[in-house]
Amino acid sequence: MKVLSKIVKYQLQDAFRSRWLAAYTLFLIVFSYGLISLTGDSSKVVLSLMNLVITIVPLISIVFGTVYIYNSRDYIVFMLSQPIDRKILFLGVYLGMCISLAAAFITGIILPILFYANYFVNNLADIFIVLISGIFETIIFIGLSFYIAIKNDNKLKGFGISIFCWLFFTVIFDGILLMILQQFQDYPLEKVSLLIISINPIDLARIWITLSYDISSLMGYTSAVIKDIYGTGWGSFITILLLTVWALWPLLLGLRNFNRKDM
């Protein structure tokens, strides 16, 4: 545990010196402040932040994580030459990356909201859901980036797979789901489509945030079923559980490949 904490501490120091992390935080602050100052409507601001959570946050997380692993190969090889367990090293690097990017996300969202705190008195629960969703998306896509970068030695190939992975969950997945619903529209596919949506972490975050505003009718064919299941306290628990599973399995896959990889 002592070695793990030292590695995490070093990773945090290294990450917080990064200009890219500072630029990410500044972008979030400017974006959030601009939304609040231009709209003046807390509900619209939170829904706009949802779009940030389901598009920009996953993209930054998967790109930043992939680039970091490739650029830190020499450091990782050096650390592996020391009497340090591979699992400890991997978890230290992973936790340092997750904590730094999650801290940047929280800072970028919270600071403008605190500046206009009186606008968000009635939306504290919604803001909390946005923050938790953003943290989950950060952790999930960092886990995916670590797995992809460790699995593929070729930087160009690994980076391309990372971008495709983001595009798949953000755009392609919904297009495939829409095609399935159109082709089999004569069949009762509500529960099937709900199951399909549940395996997409971005859609899970979107459902969770959107249903807090009771506008599930804007979400298409499965809105009634989604409302029945995800619009309850039990549904929120299921959403968090599924997001937790999504956060764990890329981590476990990456850890397994890191233990087996000859570096």
Any idea where the domains of the chain sit in the sequence?
Answer: 2-260
pLDDT of residue 233: 63
Mean pLDDT of the chain: 83
As a whole number of angstroms, the distance between CA 61 and CA 102 comes to: 9
pLDDT digits (tens, 9 = 90+) for 59-90: 999 999 999 999 888 888 888 888 888 899 99
As a whole number of angstroms, the distance between CA 143 and CA 93 comes to: 11
pLDDT digits (tens, 9 = 90+) for 228-261: 655 556 667 778 888 999 999 999 999 998 888 7
pLDDT classification of 221: cutoffs 50, 70, 90: very low
pLDDT digits (tens, 9 = 90+) for 120-140: 777 788 888 889 999 999 999
Nearest Cα residue to 68 out of 262, 254, 203: 254
Residue 55 has pLDDT above 50, yes or no: yes
CB-CB neighbours of 9 under 10 Å: 12
As a whole number of angstroms, the distance between CA 117 and CA 135 comes to: 21
As a whole number of angstroms, the distance between CA 249 and CA 157 comes to: 22
At 33, which amino acid appears? Y
User: What does DSSP assign to residue 199?
Assistant: T
Helix ranges (H only) for 184-232 are: 190-197, 201-211, 223-230
